[in-house]
Amino acid sequence: MKTTAAVAALATTIVTALAAPGTASAAAAPLAPDVSALASGTIQVAEAPSAGLPGKAFTAWTLVQASVPRLCALVQDYASYSSYMPNTKSAQPVGEGDGYVLVDMTLDLPLGQQKKYRLRLEQQQQPDTTQCKLAWRLVPTGLAPADTIADTTGYWLFTPIQGEGGKTLIEYHVYADPGPVPYGFGWIVEMMSKRSLPRTLEAVRAQAAR
């Protein structure tokens, strides 16, 4: 079991990472999870403040039996997303620059709804070099509003947990604004934010165990 001091130190590390310059998130995330409550594989989800923004932001946490390098490489294997990420029809790298990759995403949603958009993803250096953080933001592509989303930003943050047998704390933060939603399709907002987070973390957990 982790000591109170160790849990406090972990919380400080996470807060420092979130405060680092260059965080690609339109909404502030909660400071830190209750790590002790995640020991059994529980997933915590909390709404993050997004005052003045039209979309919604949520953060989810869980512990996974996998190393930080394993998880960091996993979420940067974009071409494999369609094989395990929920609702992901395709994730196609289309370009790269100094430290970032451009990926064209296509989501298949219920009732025949499909959304396409481009992300700029960047692995960001952390003060704690044992961590890995992959942040993203939307890149406009000129698609019709009905075919894409208005905005999304977020990040993956992986933190090793000392004394927990090689477990890693996953923090997954998403801000999403789907844009215009047809009448009766308000569920799309939840599908792309709060409801998707636990399913995504479970998918990553299963993929990391392979």
The closest alpha carbon to 194, from 167, 172, 209, 179, belongs to 172
Sheet holding 56-64, edge to edge: 44-48, 56-64, 168-177, 151-160, 132-139, 114-124, 100-108, 88-97
pLDDT digits (tens, 9 = 90+) for 78-125: 999 999 999 999 999 999 999 999 999 999 987 788 899 999 999 999
Structure tokens at 70: 């394993």
Instruction: Please state at what angle helix 68-75 crosses helix 196-208, rounded to 10 degrees.
Output: 120
pLDDT digits (tens, 9 = 90+) for 20-52: 333 444 455 456 788 888 988 999 999 888 878
Mean pLDDT of 202-207: 98
Q: How far apart are CA 114 and CA 92, in angstroms?
A: 16
- What pairs with residue 96 in β-bridges? 101
- Decide which of 3.40.640.10, 3.40.50.920, 3.30.479.30, 3.30.530.20 is the CATH code for 35-87+123-135+149-209: 3.30.530.20
The H-or-E segment that residue 53 falls in is none
**Lowest-pLDDT range, 4-8, 33-37, 106-110, 179-183?**
4-8
Above 70 in pLDDT, residue 10? no
Domains of the chain by residue range: 35-87+123-135+149-209
pLDDT of residue 113: 80
The closest alpha carbon to 101, from 68, 76, 133, belongs to 76
Global pTM reads 0.83
pLDDT of residue 14: 41
pLDDT digits (tens, 9 = 90+) for 122-166: 999 999 999 999 999 999 999 999 899 999 999 999 999 987 678
pLDDT digits (tens, 9 = 90+) for 14-28: 433 443 333 444 455
Amino acid sitting at position 6 = A
Count other C-beta atoms under 10 Å from residue 112's C-beta.
6
